[in-house]
Amino acid sequence: MSDFQIQTSTQEPPLDAALKVIYQWNYDPEVEELRNLYHKALEAQWIAEREIDWDRPIDMEKFATTPMGTALDIEKCSYWRSLPEETQWELKRRMASFRLSNFLHGEQGALMVAAQLVNAVPHTDAKFYAATQTMDEARHVEVFAKYINKLDEVRPIAPALKIILDSTLATDDWMKKLVGMQIVVEGLALYSFREMRNLTEEPLLKDLLTYVARDESRHHAYGVQYISRCVPCLNDAQRRELEDFALEAARTLIGSRTQQTFFSALLALWSEVGIDPAELLTSVQREREQLLREDIRPGGRLGPVQGFVIPTLRRCGLLSERVAAHFHSFLRENFTSRVVGEDVQEFLRLLPDIPEDTAAWVLGQLQ
C-alpha cells in the first residue's frame, strides 16, 4: 500500500486565481531583448543535486556571519555577545531559518506566478522566458527547502508576504502580475539575497545563494525590459492602476504592521531558546547609536524599497510624481531614521539608479 494522498494536511485551502489565457500565432522573435534573455536563461540552467555539494555539514562557526534581516545588527550588542556560544547558535539557527523560510515560500509564489505568466503574457518571447523562469523557481524552492531542513525546520509564511502572493496570483491582469512579482517581490528578494550572499561565509549557503541570485537578476531584468516596453502603450488610467498596485504591494511588505508582526515572530524565537526578549531589547536600545555607526551592510541606510524597488519602478516608467509623493510620505512616516528627503523633489534626487549589470551587482562586483 502506498501512502500517496491527494489531499494532505500541509495544503492550503484553494485560492481562486484568475488569468486570461492568450494564444499567440506569431512564433518569430518580436521582442528582441526578451528573446536574448531567454537564450541566456537556457545557457544558465543548472542542476542543484549535481552542482552543489550537499554532503557538507553546515559550518556553524562561519554561519555566524549570516545577516538576519533585522534593522539593527543585534548580534553586535553586548547582551548577545555575553550569551553562551551554544545559545547564540540556537538563536541564530532559528532566526535564519525563519528568514530563509520566507525566501522559500516566496519562491513557491514566484514559481506559480511564473507559470501563470506563460499563459497570460501576449508575446511569444515573453512566454518562452516565463517558461525558463518557472524552471528556475522550481529549483529555488528545491534548494531553499533542502538547506532549511539541514539547518532547522521550515517555518510558516509571514502574513504580509502571503497577502502579496495571493493578490498577485489572483489578479487577472498580467501586467499587475509582472509588477507585483518581478518588480516588487523579486526586487526585495534580490536585494536580500545579495546582502546575505555577500556577507555570509557559510560555504553551502554562499554557494546556493550565488546560483539563485544569478537567476534572480535575470528575473528582475525580464520585469524591467518587458514592463518598460508596455508602459508607453498604456493610457493614463491604466498606468495609474499599475503604479497603485506596486505602491500597495510595497506598502504591505514593509509597512508598520508587517514590521510589528516580524518583530513578534522574532520575540517568539528568542523565548523558544530561553532568552528574555526584554534584556536583549534593552541592550540593543542602549547601544543603538553605536550599532548604527558600525552598520557595514551593503546598500547602507536606504533599504530595499528606496534603494532598489522604487528605482526599478522609475526605470520602467512607473514613478509619476503623484505616486512618488505617496512613496515619500509613506517612507517618511515609517522610517524616521532613513534619509528620504524633505520633499518629493529631494526624494527623487536621492534615489540611486539601478545598476546596468544587475548580475555583476548582485554578486558583489559592484557597489
Q: Give the angle subtended at the CA of 148 by the CAs of 142 and 150, to the nearest 5°.
A: 105
- d(C-alpha 209, C-alpha 216), whole Å: 10
Q: How far is the CB of 36 from Fe ion (least distance, A)?
A: 18
Nearer to Fe ion, 88 or 182 (CB): 182
- Tell me how far apart the terminal alpha carbons of the chain are, to the nearest angstrom: 57
Taking CB under 5 A as the binding criterion, the range among 45-53, 90-98, 131-139, 269-277 that sits at the site for Fe ion is 131-139
Kindly state the cell numbers that stand for 339: 534619509
- In the range 290-329, which residues lie near Fe ion by CB under 5 A? none
**Which triple of cell numbers denotes residue 212?**
539563485
- Based on the shown chain and the rule CB under 5 A, indicate whether residue 37 belongs to the binding site for Fe ion: no
Residue from 175, 203, 205, 171 nearest 15 by CA? 171
Could you say whether residue 110 binds Fe ion (CB under 5 A)?
yes
Q: Which is nearer to Fe ion, 41 or 331 (CB)?
A: 41
Q: Does 219 contact Fe ion by CB under 5 A? A: yes
- Taking the least distance from each CB to Fe ion, the nearer of 180 and 347 is 180
Which residue lies nearer to Fe ion by CB, 94 or 220? Answer: 220
Contact string 182-211 vs Fe ion (x = CB under 5 A):
----x-------------------------
Mask: binding to Fe ion, 80-109, rule CB under 5 A, as x and -? Answer: ---------------------------x--
Please say whether the beta carbons of 130 and 33 come within 8 A. no
Could you tell me the smallest distance in angstroms from the CB atom of residue 192 to Fe ion?
12
Q: What is the smallest separation between the CB atom of 271 and Fe ion, expressed in angstroms?
A: 32
Residue given cell 531558546 in the structure block: 273
Residue 140 binding Fe ion, by CB under 5 A: yes
Give min distance, CB of 70 to Fe ion, in A. 23
Stretch that binds Fe ion, among 73-81, 217-225, 275-283, 284-292 (CB under 5 A): 217-225
Residues 6+ positions from 95 with CB-CB distance below 8 Å: 68, 266, 269
Grid coordinates representing 83 are 550569551
Span from 14-22, 51-59, 129-137, 265-273 in contact with Fe ion (CB under 5 A):
129-137
> Residue 190 Cβ, how far from Fe ion at the closest point, in Å?
8
Work out whether 77 is an interface residue with Fe ion (CB under 5 A). Answer: no
Which CA distances in Å does 68 have to 64, 196, 254?
10, 8, 16
User: Which of helix, strand or coil describes residue 28?
Assistant: coil
3-state secondary structure 303-361: HHHHHHHHHHHHHHCCCCHHHHHHHHHHHHHHCCCCCCCCCHHHHHHHCCCCCCCHHHH
Query: Could you list the residues that contact Fe ion (CB under 5 A)?
Result: 107, 110, 137, 140, 186, 216, 219
